[in-house]
């Protein structure tokens, strides 16, 4: 009798443990929306996917991005089944972020910074997906891009990718300390800082030799981020600049950078902010360009 009860309890325990394990497994496969919110902030997804109009719905698209090739509009990425990406699966999403491919196989233009996001980890992509599934639906249709001939065609993007795109995820540089490696991931795979702070060639690809060397973006100059320039600020000063957008001389970082400060840098945990600074300090120096 005693043995039978004991067995029943053991069985129940085993059953409960299995349910918990299964639930845990499913949660892991589906991602964690709370962590995904942090990834979205660290990657600045909201900026390009939300119109600048007052009261615009987050992630409903419509933000104009002016480039030498024409104007791109960030699409609606809310879970709306028709206007947004509600019909997508996690696999579709991973393919977009990692490979810059639409579910039907067409290529995305690199105005969507997947050349940086490609290095995101599978776990972060799953968490980000779980978060995006949870944002408010918006029925605003995505706006068509207005691109100069012949840049509006998607097929030639295949050639561009063949020339310039290195799909991730990328292993951290072996010699980097943990903080520097984390900072590299935050600035690269997530914050895509190089996309604005590096000059591009005539095909719009980042010039590797001048990575973080400073570049023109939407009529503003995104300065050199290597120690050549940033050594003028101590770590505490740099932290203030990155989180408040105010420099020690009282200048305010405006335009695109103001948004990066508000949406991304001021939202990072103190550890991640320190890692970002450690990474910027460790960047190889790129001389200031003559302008
Ligand atoms: C610098 C601006 C920019 C940022 C930052 C950005 N995107 Fe985009 N995104 C775009 C543009 C532009 C497109 C459209 C590309 C195209 O049509 O080829 C796009 C397309 C997409 C698509 C495909 C939508 C569709 O309908 O096919 C998804 C999904 C997406 N972005 C998700 C994200 C996520 C998640 C983040 C943050 C990790 C992010 N984006 C950050 C500009 C951006
Ligand atoms: C969308 C484009 C864009 C992105 C992405 C971007 N920046 Fe900037 N950044 C700018 C522009 C433009 C300025 C100049 C702002 C001004 O002068 O008002 C700037 C200025 C700065 C400055 C001030 C430099 C100085 O000497 O005055 C720092 C530091 C900086 N960015 C760091 C970063 C970091 C770190 C990231 C990645 C998390 C980042 N930026 C991502 C466009 C960008």
Per-residue confidence in pLDDT tens, the chain, 291 aa: 455 555 656 555 555 555 544 544 444 457 999 999 999 999 999 999 999 999 999 999 999 999 999 999 999 999 999 999 999 999 999 999 999 999 999 999 999 999 999 999 999 999 999 999 999 999 999 999 999 999 999 999 999 999 999 998 866 566 678 999 999 999 999 999 999 999 999 999 999 999 999 999 999 999 999 999 999 999 999 999 999 999 999 999 998 999 999 999 999 999 999 999 999 999 999 999 988
| pLDDT at residue 37 in the model | 98
Ligand 1 atom with minimal separation from the 93 CA: 29
For CA atoms 61, 63, 65, 69, give the dihedral sign: positive
48 C-beta closer than 6 A to ligand 2: no
CA of 132 to the centre of ligand 2 (A): 26
Ligand 1 atom with minimal separation from the 195 CA: 1
Burial of 96-131, coded b for 16+ CB within 10 Å and e otherwise, reads bbbbbbeeeeebbbbbbbbbbbbbbeeebbbbbbbb
191 C-beta closer than 6 A to ligand 2: yes
Ligand 1 atom with minimal separation from the 73 CA: 12
CA distance linking residue 170 with residue 268, whole number of Å: 22
CA of 39 to the centre of ligand 1 (A): 14
CB 132 within 8 A of CB 34: no
CA of 7 to the centre of ligand 2 (A): 64
CB 152 within 8 A of CB 224: no
* Half-sphere exposure in the Cβ direction for 129 (13 Å, CA): 26
CB 151 within 8 A of CB 77: no
214 C-beta closer than 6 A to ligand 1: no
| pLDDT at residue 83 in the model | 98
- Shortest-distance ligand to the CA of residue 67: 1
| pLDDT at residue 149 in the model | 94
Ligand 2 atom with minimal separation from the 252 CA: 18
CA of 61 to the centre of ligand 2 (A): 23
CA of 115 to the centre of ligand 2 (A): 19
Radius of gyration of the chain (CA): 22
260 C-beta closer than 6 A to ligand 2: yes
109 C-beta closer than 6 A to ligand 1: yes
The residue count for the chain: 291
| pLDDT at residue 169 in the model | 84
CA distance linking residue 127 with residue 105, whole number of Å: 23
Closest CA to 105 of 154, 167, 163: 154
- Model confidence pLDDT, tens digit, residues 57-111: 999 999 999 999 999 999 999 999 999 999 999 999 999 999 999 999 999 999 9
CA of 130 to the centre of ligand 2 (A): 29
| pLDDT at residue 24 in the model | 46
Q: How far apart are the first and last CA of the chain?
A: 89
| pLDDT at residue 15 in the model | 57
| pLDDT at residue 255 in the model | 86
| pLDDT at residue 10 in the model | 58
110 C-beta closer than 6 A to ligand 1: no
187 C-beta closer than 6 A to ligand 2: yes
273 C-beta closer than 6 A to ligand 2: no
């Amino acid at each position: 009798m005693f043995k039978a009860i004991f067995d029943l309890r053991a069985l129940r325990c085993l059953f409960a443990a299995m349910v918990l394990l299964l639930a845990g497994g499913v949660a892991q496969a589906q991602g964690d929306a709370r962590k995904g919110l942090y990834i979205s902030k660290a990657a600045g997804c909201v900026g390009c996917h939300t119109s600048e109009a007052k009261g615009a719905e987050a992630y409903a698209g419509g933000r104009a991005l002016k480039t030498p090739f024409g104007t791109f509009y960030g699409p609606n990425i809310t879970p709306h089944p028709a206007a947004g990406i509600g019909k997508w699966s996690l696999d579709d999403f991973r393919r977009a972020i990692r490979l810059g491919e639409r579910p039907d196989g067409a290529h995305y233009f690199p105005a969507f910074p997947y050349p940086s996001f490609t290095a995101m980890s599978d776990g972060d992509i799953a968490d980000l997906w779980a978060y995006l599934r949870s944002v408010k639906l918006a029925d605003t249709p995505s706006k068509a891009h207005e691109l100069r001939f012949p840049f509006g065609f998607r097929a030639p993007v295949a050639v561009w990718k063949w020339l310039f795109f290195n799909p991730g995820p990328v292993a951290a540089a072996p010699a980097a300390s943990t903080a520097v490696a984390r900072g590299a991931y935050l600035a690269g795979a997530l914050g895509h800082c190089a996309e604005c702070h590096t000059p591009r060639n005539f095909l719009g690809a980042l010039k590797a030799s001048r990575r973080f060397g400073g570049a023109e973006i939407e009529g503003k100059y995104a300065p050199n981020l290597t120690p050549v320039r940033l050594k003028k600020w101590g770590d505490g000063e740099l932290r203030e600049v990155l989180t408040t957008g105010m420099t020690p001389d009282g200048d305010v970082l405006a335009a695109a950078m103001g948004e990066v400060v508000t949406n991304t840098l001021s939202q990072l945990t103190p550890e991640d902010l320190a890692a970002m600074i450690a990474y910027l300090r460790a960047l190889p120096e790129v001389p200031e360009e003559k302008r």
